[in-house]
Amino acid sequence: MQVTAIIAAGGRGQRFGGGQLKQLLAVGGRPILERSVSAFLAHPAVYEVIVALPASLVENPPDYLRQSAKPIRLVGGGARRQDSVANAFGASAAASDVIVIHDAARPFPSADLIARTIAAAAESGAALAAVASRDTVKRASDATAVASGFSRTVLETLPRETIYLAQTPQAFRRDVLRSALAFGKHDKADATDEAALAERAGHRVQLVDGEATNIKITTPDDLILAEAIAEAGNTTIARAGSKPARTGRAGTGYDLHRLVEGRPLILGGVTIPSARGALGHSDADVVCHAVTDALLGAAGLGDIGRHFPDSDPRWKGASSLDLLSRAVALVAAEGLEVGNVDVTVVLESPKIKDHVDAMRAAVARAIGIDAARVSIKGKTNEGVDAVGRGEAIAAHAIALLRSSR
């Protein structure tokens, strides 16, 4: 599963006041925009980040938007929020299955919240982070009464347990967001978020538990709370730095497939020239299957057959890189991220050494880590057993996970 993140930063911050763009203001020594963007660039489930900005910033962006280990693109914002998001959506990779959207003015989304929102959208089509109201909620008379000189009055008391306050991230399957944005293009009313457009377009939106620290900086008063959150985070990091390093969680994976005529040989998402390929329900990529099992095992989530059974027609001929990306999202939802993976391919022929770099790059993209943290190497079985006789191919993998919280 490939995920694109859109950071909505095209607003002028009129409610904030002052001449400077609020997303460029520093909180805890770092610009608000940098904090928001880096949260998604660092997330293992995110493949690319697209930032919708005012035109002046697109022409002269800050340094932290110029270079990244992951693809990062800048687009101009539109007159309305939905126009800015539509511009960013148009620049997203066509292969992205899920689009996650986040307000630049929310600088503290946790990796866990991002992962849970993405996972919910992949399952249901649309999801948003939201927090339950803690206070009794009153619906009041509209502003016209106040403008006419009357006091605002309570019309009714709403059931508090049904009231949720929307946050971002909000995530959508690609087709759902396309439908919502198309609806918004012809809707004269401004939508305050993409979930509202999805609702109007007839889609059901799943709620994901948000976080109290995931505040939106709207007025200068919000900076006081934001500084406190940033300081608390810095204190936590400082305390963690004095403790022994986490050892993480390790998992192993193994896969074996018969080799047959008429099938492509796909390893690590790369098609290797060969007279025979691996037989399987999906594309039978033993590298990705072994890594997927290692990741799921380290997270205590079972194995590849549990999540992508060969009895399910959805996975017939499926790309194993896609299955690997989906497994990474499951792992991320558990509050874990990938440290590194190491794979050994056991195959008599052909030799894979000339394809290793391409395989490492493809696997790294699927996982959302740098290729330097992916190792793939080839061995033979010295003529022993079915693998040694060239009748099968096998792969062993180990993965190290660490907490992302």
pLDDT digits (tens, 9 = 90+) for 184-197: 777 666 778 899 99
Q: Whole-angstrom Cα distance, residue 218 to residue 254?
A: 51
- 372: number of Cβ within 10 Å: 10
Helix (H, G, I), strand (E, B) or coil at 311: coil
Q: Which fold has domain 3-138+156-241?
A: Spore Coat Polysaccharide Biosynthesis Protein SpsA; Chain A (3.90.550)
Which of 357, 350, 354, 308 shows the shortest CA–CA distance to 330? 308
State the pairing for strand pair 126-132/206-209: parallel
For the question of whether the overall pTM of this predicted structure is more than 0.85, the answer is: no
Q: Residue 45 pLDDT more than 90?
A: no
Do 102 and 223 form a contact (C-beta atoms < 8 A)?
no
- 330: number of Cβ within 10 Å: 21
Task: Show the tokens assigned to 294.
Answer: 């290692």
Do 285 and 267 form a contact (C-beta atoms < 8 A)?
yes
- DSSP H helices in 108-207: 111-124, 143-147, 174-186, 194-200
Residue type present at position 307:
H
Do 333 and 114 form a contact (C-beta atoms < 8 A)?
no
Residues 69-113 pLDDT 10s: 788 999 998 888 888 999 999 999 998 999 999 999 999 999 889
Residues 271-321 pLDDT 10s: 999 999 999 999 999 999 999 999 999 999 999 999 998 888 888 998 999
Residue 164 has phi, psi (to 5 degrees) of: -125, 145
CA angle 113, 118, 121 (to 5 degrees): 125
Residues 313-362 pLDDT 10s: 888 998 999 999 999 988 888 888 899 999 999 999 999 999 999 999 99
Instruction: For domain 249-403, give the CATH superfamily.
Output: 2-C-methyl-D-erythritol 2,4-cyclodiphosphate synthase (3.30.1330.50)
What is the four-CA torsion angle of 322, 326, 327, 328, rounded to 10 degrees? 100
Give me the residue label for tokens 């730095």: 241
Which of 47, 321, 3, 366 shows the shortest CA–CA distance to 174? 3
Domain chopping of the chain, boundaries: 3-138+156-241, 249-403
